[in-house]
Amino acid sequence: MEQNLSDLRAVKSRVFDLSAPGARVEAEMREIMGRRAAARTRCVLAREQGPIRVEVHAEDPDMPSLISTISPPGKDRFLYEEDCVQLAVAGANAAKEDDYLLVNPHGTRSGTPSALKWPVQPERLPHGWKLVVQVPTPPGEASFGLSLHRFFRGCNHEVQGVEDNLPYPLEPARFSVVLLKPGKNPEQLAARHRHSALEAAQHDVEQKLSDVRDRIARAAGGPEASIETARTFALARLAGPCDPVKGMWNETYLQHALIDLWELERDPKWIETVIPRAEHAWSRRSDRIGAVDTLWGVARPTWYDDVAGCADTLASGVILDPIVRLMRTIHDEPELRRFWPRVEPWCALAEEVIAVHDPEWVELAGGCGFYIEPYQKGPGRVYPSGGSRLCPFNRALWLGRPMLNLARILGRNGYLRKVEMMSRYFLANCETMDNGSLVWEYLAQPYPAAGEDLSHAHCQVLFAELCFAEGIVFAEDDMRRMAATLEKNVMRYGDVPCGTVRGLDPGLHFAVASWSSLCRYVPHVLPHIVAVLETAMAEGGFDFRREGWGVRLLTMVEKARRNAGCPPARAKP
């Protein structure tokens, strides 16, 4: 993780000296956060004729509860939710892992193409299980890095490791060092290996920063992120088809952008434009077109996930959000009240959508609550088949926004109560860093990882902004901590955004523009966001004229510019 590069200089991971033919070493694996492990695990590394033999001896006090399924190699994308071992290797000068393998006690595996070919011998025993993996040694290398973890009942239950490094993201500078050639001072050889890995990681970051800065410099003088550009692109997109089902993201972001344009210009034509698009969305609701939910076997009064073919809080929330935002705007603005008779019937329709998910609501300790959703793994509950999990944050909070707006229109205290509980659940699963920033993962989990990515995380920012404006749970201090996340993590390099809330993966991540409302606390960040967005427009890899997301980013930046007291977009030459 790039934000930990300075910390890595003090890392002293284990050294496994396998330089002598027939060498064998053994180590206990520990719970990576220092907690008491639920079951003992030990690993054995042995140098054979060619490969390294890695043995994992995993005790299990309750073998009937073992989570281990059988599927073809490389087909199970969620194997980390089971009892399994994760093994990764990296060369001496690698910034990232070279290969990794996930394998469960039945030998089901996923990983890189090369690692899928490693010989694996699984063995299930009365009080545990054993895996033997033959790992090829890198030719000509004196050492390599090895990361080894056991997931007990899945990575979201307990993780054990040879080191205390995280299973994701993998950082070669934190790997154990396996020595393949003899030397007088093994610890010194291992230190050199770690230093090489650290230097490779630093070089990788510097290359990414240099590349993006060059691209920003080349784009100077190109298309500007202005309200004029937003208006032009919106009109271009309006000339295209309206399909809120297959083009769900595209259409809903366009609807939000049109409402933004009304807020910026106070021209009712934008409201007049978005109303029929919302009506079209209602006409495409699954029950109205006779689409059967693949999970429940009946047509349901919402829109479905266009991949799974069933209802979930994400699809319902994303499509409902701009519609209910439009309803509340018309309801609350006297100059728009003439449109209310046309949209008032939507209130009952919106309540039908929200009610679809009532059986998925779960009340939790501490005044918290959240939704569950269908999932390939996890316990069977609520749904007629398959597993389930508590929703990732964005997949439930998208529904929270229209619930809050509809509550204000109709006076539904039940909706407000759920929004309050969802807010508490989100904040309870966030972490405040030493730099004052607020960070979170894709979903609530017991171990930190890379942090939520910028695009998904903008949902949490928008949800927090709305709740804060309505006086629900989120306070000024919470918003300032989110602004610190933008300033000190996402924009930690000043002019190049990182792709996650923990400050990883610098690049031309123009989704950073969706965080721009927070620039009222850190206005000096906004010009850099604008430069990134304008570079994306100039390069043309993303078609801002066809994508509602692009128009929305432009309107969000314009609103932020006005709220932050920043000067308008540059004047045209």
pLDDT confidence of residue 571? 37
What is the Cα gyration radius of the chain? 26
Q: Which residue from 110, 117, 52, 63 is spatially nearest to 85, judged by alpha carbons?
A: 110
Tokens of 182: 């003899």
Give per-residue pLDDT as tens, 35-66: 999 999 999 999 977 899 999 999 999 999 99
Please give the backbone phi and psi of residue 150, each rounded to the nearest 5 degrees, phi first.
Answer: -110, 130
- Indicate the pLDDT class of residue 353, thresholds 50, 70 and 90: very high
Q: What pLDDT sits at residue 183?
A: 86
Burial of 523 per CB tally in 10 Å (0-12, 13-18, 19+): middle
- CA pair distance 319, 392, nearest whole angstrom: 18
Helices (H), ranges, 333-453:
340-343, 346-356, 393-410, 413-428
Q: CA 121 to CA 99: how far, in whole Å?
A: 19
What structural domains does the chain harbor?
2-181+188-204 (2.60.40.1190)
Q: How far apart are CA 322 and CA 549, in angstroms?
A: 13
pLDDT per position as a tens digit, 263-322: 999 999 999 999 999 999 999 999 999 999 999 999 999 999 888 899 999 999 999 999
Mean pLDDT for 372-395 is: 95
Which carries the bigger pLDDT value, residue 186 or residue 557?
Answer: 557
CB 153 within 8 A of CB 65: yes
- Which residues in 478-504 are b (16+ Cβ under 10 Å) and which e? bbbbbbbbbbbbbbbbebbbbbbbbbb
pLDDT at 323: 98
Query: Would you mind telling me the total number of residues written for the chain in this entry?
Result: 573
545: confidence class by pLDDT, cuts 50, 70, 90: confident
- Please state, for a pLDDT cut of 90, what percent of the chain lies above it: 88
429 and 446 Cβ atoms separated by less than 8 Å? no
> Quick check: 217 pLDDT over 50?
yes
Query: Rounded mean pLDDT of 386-403?
Result: 97
The per-residue pLDDT for range 120-151, each reduced to its tens digit, is 999 999 999 999 999 999 888 999 999 999 99
Neighbours of 298 (CB within 10 A): 9
pLDDT at 566: 67
**Helical H segments across 429-521, by residue range:** 454-469, 476-484
